[in-house]
Structure 1
């Protein structure tokens, strides 16, 4: 297995406390070749200083900001700002909780890198996931 493909998700609350110790642990994780993501970004403590101090690769925008996109102007503005900020810091962005086509379209339009949510599939156990991937491969192969 190529460890370069693994992403370790941490919550913002895990960054609070002994920041020096947390930084050492994160540096060690990065040295091992793993990537780091902050899950549920925008909720909880959301200190922007974390983004510049910690060796992160990705931000996951919390579902609470996605639910009313694109109909709620404030949520749209927040999501756009998070994506722009993350990209300027060379971080990729994941939108959590995408359930509708209009949310997907908005997120594509504003440059979100990765979309996840029930729009694509509910959480699956290993066997169901395998069948899901195989069904998508069949669809892809038929289109080629």
Structure 2
């Protein structure tokens, strides 16, 4: 469990550094000879989505998060769950869709998604209220 927590903390730190770099404008311009590896990197797309989310550009954050989640980013899947749960940007609030994204990420051991999924179960948001199931995710 502690090694999992350490890996999760390291991953979050790495993503936080990417988001900070994006916000500060670092590494956004690459030489023309670069093959642009981030173009198909789901975690880079997620980091860009988070930077846009922090800047209030929720519609573009949603688009990039969707691309990243479709490419397998569980961080992006969790972000989509949050956007749907809160009805942010051009996303209509929909707890059922939010739960679906949280479940996808939670089933892949995403801690934050597990927390949000637990909240959904204990509050009956998008699923039948079930305190037992909610507590299992916490």
Give the TM-score, by structure 1 length: 0.33
Instruction: Point out the structure with the larger strand share.
Output: 1
Higher relative contact order at CA 8 Å, sep ≥6: structure 1 or structure 2? 1
Larger Rg: 1
Instruction: Point out the structure with the larger helix share.
Output: 2
